[in-house]
Structure 1
Amino acid sequence: MGQLSHAVHNPDSMKKLPQLSPYLLLTLANLFWAGNWIVSRAFRGELPPVALSFWRWAVALLCLLPLSLPQVRRDWPQLCAAWPWLLFFGALGTGGYNVLVYGGLQYTTAINGTLLNSFIPIMIVLISWLLTGKRLHGRELAGILVSFVGVLAIVAHGELQRLRELTLNVGDLWILASVLAWSAYTLLLSRRPPVHPLSFLTAISVTGLIFLLPFYLWEMAQGRHVIPTPGAIAGIVYTGVFPAFLGYILWNRGVAEVGAARAGLFMHLVPAFGIVLSMIFLDETPAPYHAAGIGLIFAGIWLNTRRIG
C-alpha cells in the first residue's frame, strides 16, 4: 500500500527534499506502491510471499539505518517503553499486511489485487464511523465516492450485470484480509509512540522482520525458496527501495502538507497505475472501461483537492 498512511508531520525530517508539489509526492508514492503489486505478481514463481516480504523489509531497513540511527538513539527510551505496540504494528502492518498481499497475488491478478486494495479508504471510514462516529466532511466523502465508482466501473468491466455476478477467488479473499489488517493498523496508530517518523519506521521494520522470520523459516521448510534469477533479485531491490523506503518518505512529506484525509484519497491511484503497469509489464490488454474508471478516480481526486491553492 503503499504504504504507511500513518506518517506524522515533522518538517525537519523532510526539509532536505526539493520543494515539489505535495500532490506530485503523493502521486509518486502511489506509483511506487502500484509497482510493488506488479513485481509480486510477475515473480510469484521465483519469490514466495513470505520471502518477498522478509527481504523487502530487510532492504528497506538497510536504506533507513544511515538516516534514522541518530533519531533512533535519541528516541530509544520511548521506543523501549512502547515495545508491545511496536511488536503489534510490525506484526500487523509491515509484516502481516504484506504477506497477505503477496499471498493473494499468488492466485489473483495484479489488477484485481490493486482494485480490491482501493477498499482501504472506505474500510477506514466505515470502521471509524462504527467505532467512534467520526465522519468525513462532505467534499472529502464525495471525492472518495466518485473515485470508488471509478473502481467499481473497472471491476464491473463497465457492465452492471458483472457486479451482480461478481465472485471472489481465494486470492481475492487474501487481499480483502489485507485490507482489513491495514485499516485496523491505521486506526490504531493513535497508540504509536511520540517519536521521529524515521525512528518509528525503523522500529516497525525490525519488529516486522522478527514477526516474519518464523514464517519465513516455515515457508522454506515447505520447500518454497527464492529462485535467485536476475529479475527476482531486481524485484526484491525494487520493493525495498521504492515502495518501502522512498514511498514512505514521499508519502510522509505529502501528508504533512495536505493532511491525512486528502492524502488518503490518493490511494485510489494505486489501481489506476496498476492497470497501466499491468498492461506494460504483464501483457494485459486495455479496454474502454479502464479509461472510464481511471477518469473517475482522477475526478474524485480533483473534487477533493480543487480548493487547495
Structure 2
Amino acid sequence: MRCSRDHRQRSLRLRFARPDAVDGGARCLTYAGSVSSGSIMQNGSRFFASLWSRAYVLLTFTALFWAGNAIVARAARELIPPVALAFWRWTIALAIILPFAWRHLRRDAPVIRGNWRMLLVLGALGIGAFNTLLYSGLQQTTALNAMLLQSGQPALILFLGAIFMGDITTVRQIVGAAIALAGVLWIIARGNLGILGTLNFNEGDLIIGLAVCLWAVYAVMLRRRPAIHPLSLFAVTLIVGIVGISPFYGMELNSGRYVVLHEESLLAIGYVSVFPSILAYLFFNRGVELIGSAGTGMYMNVMPVMGAGLAIIFLGEHLRGFHAIGMALIIGGILLAGRGSKPLAGAVVSSKTDNIERRNKSE
C-alpha cells in the first residue's frame, strides 16, 4: 500500500521526540494496524455470535463449570461453611453483572413488576435453594456422589415437562435417556450392577437429591420466564436468591461458623462466583432457549463424565474400565436423544428472546 506525501506531512505534525524520524512507512503501518484491529474485532464479534447460537458447545462448558463447582465446594468444606459459600458466590456474581444489567433492568422494570411471582419462584429455586442444599450436602458426601445424583436431572426434567408443559416425548428421546441412565448406573455400580441394591445413601445424598428435584422444577419453569433481557432475568433472580439465603447465613454466623480467610478459600469463592455462576447460568439459560428444557437436561448427563475427569486431574483418582464404558454409554445416549430432535416448549422462550433482541436493536 502506497501512502501520499500528504500522509507523511500529517505524520510529521505528531509530537514525537524526533519528528524527523516519522515517515510514510510508519503512517502506512499505523493505518494497516487500525484496519487489522478492526477486522479482528469484527471477526471476534462474529465468532462470539456464532458461539452463542451453538447450544451443545455452551452446554459443554456449563457441565464442565458445574462439575468443577462440586469438586471445589467439597475441597473447601473445612474452610467455607455451605451457606456462606452460597451467599458470597451470588453476592459477588451480582456485583459483577449489575453494571451491565442496570440499563436493561430499568427498561424491563414494568415487565418485572408484572411478573414478580414467577421471578420470585425462579430466584428461590435456581439461585437460593439449589446451591445452598448442594453445598450443605457436600459437607457429608463426596463430590462424585453429588455429580452422579445430579445425573438424574434429565429424567426428572423430561417427566415434569411431559406432565406440566405437555412436552411430546419421542421414542428416540426415551431410548437415549435409557442408554444414558444405564451408563450412569454402570459408573455408580463400578461395573457390577449387583451392588446397586446395597447402596446406602447418607443424609448428604438425600439433601442433594432434594436439590436435584428443585433444579428440575426450575429448568421446566424457566420456559415461562417473562420476556425480559437475559441480564435482567439473571440479576433479578440473583437478588431474590441472595435475599432468601441471607436469614440462613445469619443463623450460620450465629452458630459460630465463619469463613476461614485463606488463599484456598478465596480462590474457591472466586471460582464459584464466576464460572459456575455467571457463565454457566447464562449458558444454561441460552441452551433452554435453543433446544428446550428436555434436550438441555439430557445433555447435563455429561456432568459425571466431566466430574470424573476433574477428579482424576485434581484428586488423583484413576480411570478404570467401568468408567470408560459408562462414559461411552452416556455420550451415546445423549447423541441419540438429541439427533434430529426439535425444540419443544423452549421455542416459546426463544421467540420471546427474539422479540427482546429486535426491541433492543430498534432502541
**TM-score higher than 0.5 here?**
yes
Residue 199 of structure 1 aligns with an amino acid whose one-letter code is S
Question: Cα RMSD between the aligned structures?
Answer: 2.0
1:51 counterpart residue number: 84
Q: Distance in 1 between matches of 2:228 and 2:339?
A: 33
Aligned equivalent of 2:133: 100
Whether the aligned pair in 1 keeps the contact of 2:157 and 2:293 (CA below 8 Å) is no
Contact residue 172 and residue 337 of structure 2 kept, 8 A: yes
Match of 2:50 among 9, 14, 19: 19
TM (normalized to structure 2)? 0.76
**Partner Cα distance (2:64, 2:115) in 1:** 32
- Does residue 113 (structure 1) correspond to residue 146 (structure 2)? The answer is yes
Secondary structure of 1:47 counterpart: coil
Deviation at 1:133, TM superposition (A): 5.9
Q: In percent, how many aligned pairs have the same letter?
A: 42
Q: Secondary structure at the match of 1:90?
A: helix
Aligned mates of 1:188, 1:258 — CA distance in 2: 15
Per-residue CA deviation, residues 23-78 of structure 1 (Å, 9 max, x unaligned), is 22211111011111111111011111111111111121122212211211111112
Shift in Å, 1:132: 6.1
State yes or no: 1:91 paired with 2:145. no
Aligned to 1:178: 211
8 Å contact from structure 2 (residues 161, 294) kept in 1: no
1:196-211 equivalence runs, <5 A: 196-211=229-244
Question: Residues 91, 254 of structure 1: CA spacing in aligned structure 2 closer, same or farther, 3 A cutoff?
Answer: closer
Q: TM-score, normalised by structure 1?
A: 0.89
- Regions of 4+ moved over 6 Å: none
Q: Which has the larger radius of gyration?
A: 2
TM-fit CA distance, 1:252: 3.7
Correspondence 1:297 to 2:297:
no
DSSP-derived class of the 1:158 partner: coil
Structure 2 segments unaligned to the other structure (5+ residues): 1-44, 342-363
1:261 aligns to what SS in structure 2?
helix
Instruction: Select the structure with the greater relative contact order (CA < 8 A; seq sep ≥ 6).
Output: 1
AA aligned opposite 2:190: H
Instruction: Evaluate the alpha carbon distance shift between residue 134 and residue 246 of structure 1 in structure 2; reply closer, same or farther with a 3 A threshold.
Output: closer
Structure 1: 5+ residue stretches without partners: 1-13
Q: Contact 2:158/2:294 (CA < 8 Å) preserved in 1?
A: no
1:258 to 1:185, Cα distance in 2 relative to 1, 3 A? closer
Count matched residues. Answer: 295
Structure 1 counterpart of 2:317: 284
Checking the alignment, whether the CA contact within 8 Å between 2:83 and 2:245 is kept in structure 1 is yes
Q: Deviations over 1:219-276 (max 9, x none)?
A: 0111111112111111111111111101123334444444433222110111111111
| Separation of aligned partners in 1, 2:94 and 2:299 | 25
- Following superposition of structure 1 onto structure 2, how do residues 27-46 of structure 1 map, counting pairs within 5 Å? 27-46=60-79
Structure 2 SS opposite 1:167: coil
* Among candidates 258, 269, 273, match of residue 236 of structure 1: 269
